[in-house]
Structure 1
Amino acid sequence: MKSELRKQVLQEMKAIPREQKQAMDQALTEGLLQYPFYQEANTIATYLSFPHEFQTHELIEQALRDGKKILIPKTYPKGRMDFVVYHPQQLVKTSFGLLEPQGNLEVVDASQIDLIHVPGLAFTTEGYRIGYGGGYYDRYLEHFTGHSMSTIYPCQVQQFMPENHDIPVQEVLVDEGNL
């Protein structure tokens, strides 16, 4: 069931025309920047996007201009993940084709993070999500006390039954403007 939904949503995301996707990314970025969660946050954890995902590049650039500390994930075997300070010169492409930080990394404790911007494939309107299957975010969010939010496309809103280990994100921002 989850794997079917993953596949279906991934196909739909990849099928979004480039110009429409850019317009949605821009609208979602602007929406996120107006959010009190964002404005009040000093330290924000986000991610480096796959091409089919919401593109975080603008968000990262703007947040740095706004004087915020930006963190990105560093993953390890067995589903462990840390958030480390974003330094573009430390990024190296992984076997998945994603950029990941390498080298002498500055890990920031979860208690210091004000807002986590969470990726994923499918989301319910209550914020439950289906990610890529690694379980990294569910494990991390389980003990996280700050704010969490996701920015998604309309095709990512889905109905599914969450499992008991699933941790919802607090806010799901959907771009409704281009429906």
Structure 2
Amino acid sequence: MDKKKLRTTILTMLKSQDREWKSHYDKRLAERLFCLPIYQTATTIAVYLSFDFEYDTTLVIERALADGKRIVIPKTYPKGKMIFVDYDPKTLVTSSFGVPEPESSQEVAKEMIDLVVVPGVVFNNQGYRIGYGAGYYDRYLKDYQGETVSLIYPSQLSYFIPQKYDIPVKGLLYEKSATHF
């Protein structure tokens, strides 16, 4: 199956997940993340603002802020450029993709970010991902030296061959034995 068809198939599955199961799963996965050394030692964490069918990143944002960590979120520009900006829920605007993003353009340098929570639609077991097709994260992560992790549902795992410009995440966090409630 090609990337486009695989993306469409998995997105359809994600959008049809049982909301109660998803909520329980998201919370369990968040707790696993909070126990990891990459989370515990991070002082600045880059997190995307999720669609309602994706892993609920508000769980990570709220806990990280409560833990005194700095949260930065993506801001996108034409031609695949993306930066991370300090999270301020009072100054969010809707992007051309329909997701909230910061109004500010005050970039936080890559070397200041300890951990990037990376979105994606499909992942293989080497950490390669199929995103939404614009390549923002692959471009950003190309020379990023910190830690990367994706929090995913088991249904997002699939076999595919990455392309030469794809950048894998260093860790995939999911429950292999997840059951529906």
Which TM class, normalised by the smaller chain length?
over 0.9
Counterparts of 1:18-57 in structure 2, within 5 Å, are 18-57=19-58
The one-letter code matched in structure 1 to 2:155 is C
Give the Cα separation in 2 of the matches to 1:48 and 1:177: 26
Counterparts of 1:18-167 in structure 2, within 5 Å, are 18-102=19-103, 104-167=104-167
The one-letter code matched in structure 2 to 1:33 is F
The one-letter code matched in structure 1 to 2:79 is K
The one-letter code matched in structure 2 to 1:168 is P
Over the aligned positions, Cα root-mean-square deviation in angstroms equals 1.0
1:97, distance to aligned residue in structure 2 (A): 2.4
Instruction: Give 1:15's aligned residue.
Output: 16
Distance 1:6 1:119, change over 3 A: same
Give the Cα separation in 2 of the matches to 1:57 and 1:37: 18
Structure 1: gaps spanning 5 or more residues? none
**Contact 1:46–1:56 (CA<8 Å) still a contact in 2?**
yes
1:90, distance to aligned residue in structure 2 (A): 0.9
**Contact 1:85–1:105 (CA<8 Å) still a contact in 2?**
no
Could you tell which deviates more after superposition, 21-30 or 71-80? 21-30
1:177, distance to aligned residue in structure 2 (A): 4.4
1:93, distance to aligned residue in structure 2 (A): 2.0
Give the Cα separation in 1 of the matches to 2:37 and 2:6: 32
1:15, distance to aligned residue in structure 2 (A): 1.2
Question: Alignment partner of 1:7: what SS?
Answer: helix
Question: Alignment partner of 2:126: what SS?
Answer: coil
Question: Alignment partner of 1:107: what SS?
Answer: coil
Aligned residues: 178
1:128, distance to aligned residue in structure 2 (A): 0.4
1:100, distance to aligned residue in structure 2 (A): 1.1
1:106, distance to aligned residue in structure 2 (A): 2.7
Question: Alignment partner of 1:145: what SS?
Answer: coil
Give the Cα separation in 2 of the matches to 1:16 and 1:97: 21
Structure 2: gaps spanning 5 or more residues? none
Give the Cα separation in 1 of the matches to 2:47 and 2:129: 16
Normalising by the residue count of structure 2, what TM-score does the alignment of the two structures yield?
0.95
Question: Alignment partner of 1:172: what SS?
Answer: strand
